[in-house]
Structure 1
Amino acid sequence: MASKRLATTATAALLSTLGTVGTVACSASNGESVPASSPARPDASVVSPLKPVASASDIATGREAAPGAPGIGDSDFPTDGNGGYDVGHYGLKLGYDPASKHLSGVARISARATQNLASFNLDLSGFTVKRVTVDGRPAKFARAGTELGVTPAASIPNAKAFTVEVAYAGEPEPVRGSSNLGTYGFIPTKDGAFVTCQPNGAKTWFPGNDHPSDKASYDFEITVPAGLTALANGELVGAPKTTGGRTTFQWRESHPMASYLATMTLGRFEMLQGTTPGGLKNVAAVDPRFRGSLRKLYDVSGRVTDYWSTVFGPYPFSSTGGVVDDFPAGYALENQTKPMYGGFAPDDAIIAHELAHQWFGDSLSITRWRDLWLNEGFATYAEWLWSEHEGQATAEQLFRRHYSAGADDPIWSYAPGKARPDDLFNNSVYTRGGMTLHALRQRIGDTAFFMLLKEWNAAHKYGSVTTPEFVAMAEKISGKELDPLFDAWLFTAKKPTTW
Structure 2
Amino acid sequence: MRRAIVAVTAALAVVLAGTPAQAAPAPGAPGIGDSYFPDYGNGGYDVSHYDIRVRYYPGSDVLTGTTTILARATEDLSSFNLDFVLNVTSIKVNGWTATYARQGDHEVVVTAPRPITRNQYLTIVVQYEGVPSEVVAAGYTAWTKTADGALAIGQPEIAWWWYPSNDHPRDKATFDISVLVPDGVEVLSNGVMPRAPRAEIPGWTRWSWRSARPMATYLAFMAIGQYEIVQDVAPNGQQVINAYSENLGEFAESARASVQRTSEVVDWEQGVFGPYPFEAQGGVVVAPQTIGFALENQTRSTYAAEFFRRGSDPYVVVHENAHQWFGDSVAVDTWQNIWLNEGFASYAEWLWSEETGEGTADELFEFYYNLYPATSSFWTVKPGDPGPPNIFHPAVYDRGAMAVHQIRLAIGDNAFFALLKAWTAARKDSVGNIAQFQALAEAISGRDLDAVFTTWLYTPSKPTLGLAGAASARSAAAGARAGVTAEPKSYQKINAVHQDLAAAKGR
Corresponding residue of 2:220 = 262
Corresponding residue of 2:151 = 194
For residues 344 and 271 of structure 2, the distance between their equivalents in structure 1, rounded to whole angstroms, comes to: 16
Aligned mate of 1:238, from 195, 200, 221: 195
For residues 141 and 278 of structure 1, the distance between their equivalents in structure 2, rounded to whole angstroms, comes to: 47
For residues 423 and 497 of structure 1, the distance between their equivalents in structure 2, rounded to whole angstroms, comes to: 23
Structure 1 residues 432, 407: closer, same or farther in 2, change over 3 A?
Answer: same
Q: Shift of the alpha carbon at 1:395?
A: 0.9
For residues 299 and 204 of structure 1, the distance between their equivalents in structure 2, rounded to whole angstroms, comes to: 30
Matched, 1:392 2:358: yes
Aligned mate of 1:479, from 415, 429, 446: 446
For residues 236 and 206 of structure 2, the distance between their equivalents in structure 1, rounded to whole angstroms, comes to: 31
For residues 115 and 137 of structure 2, the distance between their equivalents in structure 1, rounded to whole angstroms, comes to: 37
For residues 337 and 410 of structure 1, the distance between their equivalents in structure 2, rounded to whole angstroms, comes to: 35
Matched, 1:296 2:257: yes
For residues 20 and 101 of structure 2, the distance between their equivalents in structure 1, rounded to whole angstroms, comes to: 30
For residues 229 and 83 of structure 1, the distance between their equivalents in structure 2, rounded to whole angstroms, comes to: 36
Deviating runs (4+, > 4 A) in structure 1? 174-178
Q: Shift of the alpha carbon at 1:175?
A: 7.7
Structure 1 residues 78, 451: closer, same or farther in 2, change over 3 A?
Answer: same
Corresponding residue of 1:55 = none
For residues 469 and 452 of structure 1, the distance between their equivalents in structure 2, rounded to whole angstroms, comes to: 12
Corresponding residue of 2:132 = 172
Structure 1 residues 114, 229: closer, same or farther in 2, change over 3 A?
Answer: same
Amino acid at match of 2:22: G
| Alpha-carbon contact 1:119-1:152 (below 8 Å) kept | yes
SS in 2 for 1:249: strand
Matched, 1:330 2:292: yes
Q: Shift of the alpha carbon at 1:74?
A: 0.6
Q: For 1:230-260, what per-residue CA distance to the aligned partner results, in whole angstroms no more than 9, with x for missing partners?
A: 1111000111112311110110001111111
Q: For 1:393-451, what per-residue CA distance to the aligned partner results, in whole angstroms no more than 9, with x for missing partners?
A: 11110001111132112221111101211222100011111111100100100000000
For residues 67 and 297 of structure 2, the distance between their equivalents in structure 1, rounded to whole angstroms, comes to: 20
Corresponding residue of 1:45 = none
Q: Shift of the alpha carbon at 1:200?
A: 1.7
For residues 84 and 363 of structure 1, the distance between their equivalents in structure 2, rounded to whole angstroms, comes to: 24
| Alpha-carbon contact 2:255-2:305 (below 8 Å) kept | no
For residues 60 and 308 of structure 1, the distance between their equivalents in structure 2, rounded to whole angstroms, comes to: 56
Corresponding residue of 1:95 = 55
SS in 2 for 1:153: strand
| Alpha-carbon contact 2:242-2:260 (below 8 Å) kept | no
Higher helix share: 2
For residues 277 and 354 of structure 1, the distance between their equivalents in structure 2, rounded to whole angstroms, comes to: 19
Structure 1 residues 389, 61: closer, same or farther in 2, change over 3 A?
Answer: farther
Amino acid at match of 1:492: T
| Alpha-carbon contact 2:133-2:141 (below 8 Å) kept | no
Structure 1 residues 307, 205: closer, same or farther in 2, change over 3 A?
Answer: same
Amino acid at match of 1:170: G
Matched, 1:135 2:101: no
Q: Shift of the alpha carbon at 1:173?
A: 2.8
Structure 1 residues 120, 216: closer, same or farther in 2, change over 3 A?
Answer: same
For residues 152 and 431 of structure 1, the distance between their equivalents in structure 2, rounded to whole angstroms, comes to: 47
Aligned mate of 1:319, from 280, 286, 294: 280
TM-score normalized by structure 1?
0.85
For residues 255 and 391 of structure 1, the distance between their equivalents in structure 2, rounded to whole angstroms, comes to: 35
SS in 1 for 2:205: strand
Matched, 1:377 2:338: no
Q: Shift of the alpha carbon at 1:176?
A: 7.1
| Match runs of 1:272-283 below 5 Å | 272-283=230-241
SS in 1 for 2:247: helix
Q: Shift of the alpha carbon at 1:117?
A: 1.1
| Alpha-carbon contact 2:294-2:320 (below 8 Å) kept | yes
For residues 261 and 135 of structure 2, the distance between their equivalents in structure 1, rounded to whole angstroms, comes to: 31
Structure 1 residues 215, 472: closer, same or farther in 2, change over 3 A?
Answer: same
For residues 388 and 408 of structure 1, the distance between their equivalents in structure 2, rounded to whole angstroms, comes to: 30
Q: Shift of the alpha carbon at 1:327?
A: 4.8
Corresponding residue of 2:435 = 468
Structure 1 residues 358, 406: closer, same or farther in 2, change over 3 A?
Answer: same
Corresponding residue of 2:108 = 148
Corresponding residue of 1:214 = 171
For residues 393 and 197 of structure 2, the distance between their equivalents in structure 1, rounded to whole angstroms, comes to: 41
Amino acid at match of 1:351: V
For residues 103 and 264 of structure 1, the distance between their equivalents in structure 2, rounded to whole angstroms, comes to: 12
SS in 2 for 1:173: helix
Corresponding residue of 1:344 = 306
For residues 104 and 455 of structure 1, the distance between their equivalents in structure 2, rounded to whole angstroms, comes to: 43
| Alpha-carbon contact 2:68-2:126 (below 8 Å) kept | yes
Matched, 1:81 2:41: yes
CA RMSD of aligned residues (A): 1.8
Q: Shift of the alpha carbon at 1:104?
A: 0.2
| Alpha-carbon contact 1:112-1:159 (below 8 Å) kept | yes
| Alpha-carbon contact 2:383-2:395 (below 8 Å) kept | yes
Corresponding residue of 2:384 = 417
Q: Which moved more, 1:441-450 or 1:71-80?
A: 71-80
Count, aligned residues: 437
Structure 1 residues 389, 276: closer, same or farther in 2, change over 3 A?
Answer: same
Aligned mate of 1:436, from 363, 381, 403: 403
Q: Shift of the alpha carbon at 1:297?
A: 3.9
Q: Shift of the alpha carbon at 1:289?
A: 2.6
| Alpha-carbon contact 1:313-1:454 (below 8 Å) kept | yes
Corresponding residue of 2:477 = none
SS in 2 for 1:481: coil
For residues 249 and 117 of structure 1, the distance between their equivalents in structure 2, rounded to whole angstroms, comes to: 36
Corresponding residue of 1:114 = 74
Unaligned runs of at least 5 residues, structure 2: 1-18, 467-507
Q: For 1:170-207, what per-residue CA distance to the aligned partner results, in whole angstroms no more than 9, with x for missing partners?
A: 100378799xx9x7632111111122120122111111
Structure 1 residues 150, 234: closer, same or farther in 2, change over 3 A?
Answer: same
SS in 2 for 1:305: helix
Q: More relative contact order in 1 or in 2 (CA 8 Å, sep 6+)? A: 1
For residues 420 and 197 of structure 1, the distance between their equivalents in structure 2, rounded to whole angstroms, comes to: 19
